[in-house]
Amino acid sequence: MTTLVDYTLIPLTHSTSTMSLLNDAPKPRIPDAIDAQRLQAMQLVAKMKESADKYGVGFVGGFISPDGQKFMMTNMNEDDTNKLLPEDLK
């Protein structure tokens, strides 16, 4: 699939300058602010989930970072996952 980018310059009606449509487009959120330790923990949870998927077993895994953010991955439906989680993680 080819993505086309329009670099056409359009005049602004309230200004004499021009603005590129590319510069005006919303910028994606790039997760470079994730620290390396958190990223490694996320990768470990993903590998554990992949292993569970490979062997056809249910998996719920994750961690709580020092700043209190929760990260969780599962290959089970929401009802089964909620039955396994402690109340403070729901």
The residue ranges of every structural domain in the chain are: 32-89
* pTM across the whole model: 0.59
C-alpha atoms less than 13 angstroms from C-alpha of 33 in its C-beta half-sphere: 2
Interval 76-86: pLDDT, tens: 999 999 998 88
Give the single-character DSSP code of 36.
H
Indicate whether 22 pLDDT > 90: no
Split at pLDDT 50, 70, 90, the class of 26 is low
